[in-house]
């Protein structure tokens, strides 16, 4: 395999100005046997009032499901991390709670590298990983590392608002890409890019390839390959924001009696996952943002970026003077647990997640099929993630051309208010829509009468999920006089 291409021409002015902090460079000598280190403001770890952390977790292979709380005497995984190192794979508290290791604790990085090799096998030589505080922070770091004011970025037509707020604060320009139920349409992306002047060409594509937030769509391998080719043709980076990658599910089978949710073998599970952009990245132009938020817990605030070393180094420099490193408690606990489970046990956990989310998705889609008015809606059962969308033809509303001035957004608002009165909240699609920064270059100005609402099956128990959707369906029926 070849090393990554030199892509440092993408770096922002801010990033180019970043130099190693002279004080931080001295830290590499800390712990050297014959050196008396009088150089840094490091408190002695003897004074850390944390001698031991013990965490009890379920134990692989999670035969009773991942939500099962083990009873007294049943198998558990006990993670015990001490101040000084005992197990090879543990991050001792004397180190994790100390300054240093901006790129992440070595034991954590080792686990994550093995995991990346297992699932993605990046096809270039020198790929590496760097710890983050989760994808929210990682995306903010991406913006600072690559974007100058006025640079363009490609985003899906509807996308995660928090990521866009971060981008807006950096004064970047948006080029929204048309999507369908399976995500980005590569041919439309090509058409869009062909229309841009050189100065408007994007530096990067921000995409949520799996279990998209908000649309619930997932990009398949063929589309990813086509998009990757475009990234080479027009020279831009691909940032894959992938918190939902492991929430890929079985395909939805409307007939409940034909559903096959029986546990699959490990190999079958791995092979069934959609290949990532990283897995096709021969140039080193993909930065993959991975997070444990949706697979372990959001409050772990720990994740990682996979990418080429020259670009990761710029994240390292930024982290040195901002986050410093992920929280020490989290580094010790998460690494301790994952190392005890091993990549094999973690695979069991991920397989358990697949089974749970398949059930939740099935309950949501069954409820939509049973209680939404079929005449006016369309939906595609998601194959990954936490979200589903229901498209509604606003033009079918009896007041569309009269009271609502043929404005789909007025129908959206009416549905939102009616469903709230009934006690069900789904998010209107327009809240996620991205405005084109070069409207004259947009593909079409046609007003579509389709609107959509986003819901999630992740956040509530199954009976609440069903009830909420029944309420929303009944609000729709009343609104549309059906």
The residues binding ligand PLP (CB under 6 A) are 134-136, 160, 208, 213, 241, 243, 291, 293, 298, 303
Tell the smallest beta-carbon distance from residue 320 to ligand PLP (Å).
20
Closest CB to ligand PLP among residues 134, 345: 134
Tell the smallest beta-carbon distance from residue 163 to ligand PLP (Å).
6
Token pair belonging to 288: 């993959």
Tell the smallest beta-carbon distance from residue 312 to ligand PLP (Å).
18
In which element (H, E) is residue 454 found?
strand 450-456
Closest CB to ligand PLP among residues 98, 293: 293
Tell the smallest beta-carbon distance from residue 384 to ligand PLP (Å).
12
Closest CB to ligand PLP among residues 165, 463: 165
Give the integer Cα–Cα distance in Å for 209 and 276: 8
CB–CB of 29/39 below 8 Å? yes
Given its phi and psi angles, is residue 150 left (phi above 0), alpha (psi -120 to 50 degrees) or beta? left
Closest CB to ligand PLP among residues 152, 300: 300
Tell the smallest beta-carbon distance from residue 459 to ligand PLP (Å).
11
**CA 305 to mean position of chain CA atoms:** 11
Residue/partner pairs of 373-382 with CB below 8 Å, 24 or more apart: 373/473, 373/476, 373/477, 373/480, 373/482, 375/482, 376/476, 376/480, 376/482, 377/476, 378/450, 380/181, 380/216, 380/217, 381/251, 381/252, 382/211, 382/216, 382/217, 382/218, 382/249
Tell the smallest beta-carbon distance from residue 432 to ligand PLP (Å).
11
Closest CB to ligand PLP among residues 202, 326: 326
**CA 310 to mean position of chain CA atoms:** 23
Tell the smallest beta-carbon distance from residue 159 to ligand PLP (Å).
8
Closest CB to ligand PLP among residues 138, 475: 138
Closest CB to ligand PLP among residues 289, 364: 289
For residue 440, give the 3-state DSSP assignment: helix
């Amino acid at each position: 395999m070849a090393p990554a291409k030199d892509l440092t021409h993408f770096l922002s002015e801010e990033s180019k100005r970043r130099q190693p902090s002279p004080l931080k460079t001295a830290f590499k000598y800390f712990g050297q046997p014959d050196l008396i280190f009088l150089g840094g403001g490091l408190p002695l770890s003897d004074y850390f009032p944390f001698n031991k952390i013990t965490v009890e977790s379920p134990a692989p292979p999670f035969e009773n499901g991942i939500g099962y709380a083990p009873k007294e005497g049943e198998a558990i995984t006990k993670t015990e991390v001490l101040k000084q190192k005992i197990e090879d794979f543990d991050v001792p508290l004397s180190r994790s709670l100390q300054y240093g290791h901006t790129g992440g604790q070595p034991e954590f990085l080792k686990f994550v590298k093995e995991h990346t090799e297992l699932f993605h096998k990046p096809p270039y030589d020198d790929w590496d990983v760097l710890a983050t505080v989760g994808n929210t922070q990682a995306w903010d770091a991406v913006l600072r590392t690559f974007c100058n004011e006025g640079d363009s970025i490609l985003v899906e037509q509807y996308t995660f608002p928090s990521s866009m707020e971060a981008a807006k604060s950096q004064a970047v320009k948006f080029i929204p890409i048309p999507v369908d139920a399976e995500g980005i349409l590569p041919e439309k992306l090509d058409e869009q890019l062909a229309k841009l002047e050189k100065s408007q060409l994007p530096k990067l594509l921000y995409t949520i390839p799996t279990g998209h937030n908000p649309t619930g769509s997932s990009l398949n391998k063929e589309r990813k390959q086509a998009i990757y080719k475009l990234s080479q043709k027009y020279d831009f980076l691909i940032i894959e924001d992938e918190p939902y990658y492991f929430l890929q599910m079985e395909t939805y089978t409307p007939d409940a009696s034909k559903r096959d949710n029986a546990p699959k073998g490990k190999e079958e599970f791995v092979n069934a996952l959609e290949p990532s952009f990283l897995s096709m990245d021969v140039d080193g132009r993909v930065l993959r943002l991975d997070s444990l938020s949706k697979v372990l817990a959001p409050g772990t605030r720990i994740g990682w970026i996979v990418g080429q070393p020259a670009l990761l180094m710029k994240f390292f420099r930024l982290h040195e003077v901002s986050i410093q490193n992920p929280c020490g408690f989290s580094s010790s606990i998460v690494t301790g647990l994952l190392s005890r489970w091993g990549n094999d046990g973690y695979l069991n956990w991920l397989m358990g997640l697949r089974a749970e989310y398949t059930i939740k998705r099935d309950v949501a889609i069954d409820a939509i099929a049973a209680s939404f008015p079929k005449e006016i809606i369309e939906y595609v059962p998601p194959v990954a993630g936490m979200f589903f969308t229901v498209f509604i033809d606003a033009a079918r509303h009896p007041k569309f051309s009269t009271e609502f001035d043929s404005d789909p957004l007025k129908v959206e608002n009416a549905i939102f208010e009616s469903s709230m009165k009934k006690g069900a909240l789904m998010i209107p699609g327009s809240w996620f829509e991205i405005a084109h920064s070069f409207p004259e270059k947009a593909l079409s100005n046609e007003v579509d009468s389709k609107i959509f609402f986003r819901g999630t099956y992740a956040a509530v128990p199954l009976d609440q999920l069903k009830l909420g959707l029944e309420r929303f369906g009944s609000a729709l029926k009343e609104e549309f006089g059906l």
